[in-house]
Amino acid sequence: MSKRDYYEVLGVSKGASEQELKKAYRRIAMKCHPDRNPDDKTAEDKFKEASEAYEVLSDADKRAAYDQFGHAGVSGAGGMGGGAGGFGNFSDIFGDVFGDIFGAAGGRGRGGPSRGADLRYTLELSLEDAVRGTTVQIKVPTLVACEPCDGTGSREGSRPSTCTTCGGIGQVRMQQGFFSVQQTCPNCRGRGSIITDPCRTCHGQGRVEETKTLSVKVPPGVDSGDRIRLAGEGEAGMEGGPPGDLYVQVAVKPHEFFERDGKNLYCEVPISFVDAALGGELEVPTLDGRVKLKVPAETQTGKLFRLRGKGVTPVRGGAPGDLMCRVVVETPVNLNSKQKELLREFQDSMSDNKNSPRQSSWFEGMKNFFGDMKI
C-alpha cells in the first residue's frame, strides 16, 4: 500500500516551520498515542504514521531528500521509537512542553553564566539640587566577581566538575502520570556543575560582598519617583555572566517654603490685613532669589499670584513652570489696649454692608436656608 504524503499526514504545508511541524505532531500524538488509546488499532496506525512523518520532516537532511525524491529518498527511515515495533513514551513526547515552561526546552539546562541581579538605591535630594541638577557620590553594597578565581568559584588551577545527578543539564525529570516535569537539579541547583575544590576567598560562590563608591550625575529637573540607570553597576553575574544594573531612585525632601506639583512651585505668603485691604509690595522667595510681589488693594485670603518662569524646567525639556504664591491674611495677635480700641472704632465705622460683601451675602444665604426649612 502506498504511503501518504508526510505533509498531508501532519496537516501542514510544505513551507511549514520547525515549530509548526512540532505543534502539528503534538496534536496528533496527544490524540492517538497508544498509551491513551489501548486496543485501538486505528489510533495506533495514525500515531505510527505521524511519528514517521515527523521524524523525517524534523530532520533537515531527511526533509531535503524527501522534498526532492519523495518516499524513495528516505526509504528505511523508521517511525519514532523504532518504527512499528515500539512507541515513544508518552511523557517523552510532551516533556519539552514543560521544558519550555521551566526554561529547559529540548533538554537544554539552566547551567552556565547568568546575568546578575539589578539593584535599587534611594537617593534623597534637596529641592534645589533636584531642580538645578548635581553630582553626588553614593556608596552601594553589592556582589562583585571574586578576583582570585575570576568568578568561577573554583580554586586557581582547578575547574568545576560535571554534576552526576543531571549530567550537566541543570534539570532533572520528575514523572507524574503520563507527563514528566523538568525541575531544577537539587544537587547542583541548576548550574550543571559541582565545585569540588572551592576558592578560599569566595568559598565557591564566585562573588564577594563589596561596597562600591559611585558618582551619580543628577540631571536638572528630576522629581520624586524618577530613576537614573547606571548600566553594569548591579550585582556581578554567576559564573562570569554579565552584571546587572543599578537604578537610583530619586526622593526629593520636603522644602521649608515650596511645594512642587510637576513643573510648578507653590508657596504661601502671609500678609497683614492692612496690606490686604490697602495693597502693598512684598518680597517673596524663589529658587533664584527674592523678588517683589505687588499685592493690589482689597486682596482676599487664598488669592493666587503667578510668577511666570519661576518654577522648574522639566527634566525632559520644555518651558519652565511658574511659581504660584497663595496669600494668607494673618490676624494680628498680642494687641495692646490702644490697638484694640482703634480696631473697635474701625469696626463701628464699618456698619455699611458694602465694606464686607462676602460676609453679607453669606449671612443672607444662611437666613434663606433656615427660612426654607420646615420644622
**Does the pLDDT value for residue 154 go beyond 90?**
no
pLDDT of residue 99: 42
pTM (predicted TM-score):
0.58
Mean pLDDT over 182-190 rounds to 81
pLDDT tens-digit map of 156-167: 878 888 888 887
Per-residue pLDDT at 176:
60
Tens digit of pLDDT for each residue in 88-129?
Answer: 444 444 444 444 434 433 344 445 677 889 999 999 999 999
pLDDT at 175: 66
pLDDT at 356: 64
Evaluate whether 6-81 and 119-252 have a shared fold: no
pLDDT tens per residue across span 3-52: 788 989 999 888 888 888 888 888 888 788 777 777 888 888 888 888 88
Whether pLDDT at 278 is above 50: yes
Q: What is the mean pLDDT of the chain?
A: 81
Which pLDDT does position 32 carry in this prediction? 83
pLDDT (average), residues 272-281: 88
Q: Output the CATH code of domain 119-252.
A: 2.10.230.10
* Range 75-86 average pLDDT: 46
pLDDT score at 288: 87
Rounded to whole angstroms, the Cα distance separating 111 from 172 reads 12
- Identify the pLDDT of residue 250: 95
The answer to whether 311 and 265 have CB atoms below 8 angstroms apart is yes
Quickly tell me which residue has 513551507 as its cell.
15
- Position 19 scores a pLDDT of 83
Mean pLDDT, residues 255-268 taken together: 93
Nearby residues of 209 by Cβ (< 8 Å), 6 or more positions away: 141, 142, 143
Which of 2.60.260.20, 3.30.460.80, 2.60.40.2130, 3.40.50.1110 is the CATH number of 259-330? Answer: 2.60.260.20
Average pLDDT on 242-250 reads 93
Q: Taking the domain 6-81, which CATH number applies? A: 1.10.287.110
Give domain limits for the chain. 6-81, 119-252, 259-330, 337-372
pLDDT in tens, 337-357: 999 999 888 888 876 656 665
Average pLDDT over residues 168-182: 72
Confidence of residue 325 (pLDDT cuts 50, 70, 90): very high
What is the per-residue pLDDT for 91? 46
**pLDDT greater at residue 269 or residue 375:** 269
Task: Name the band, by pLDDT with cuts 50, 70 and 90, for residue 214.
Answer: very high
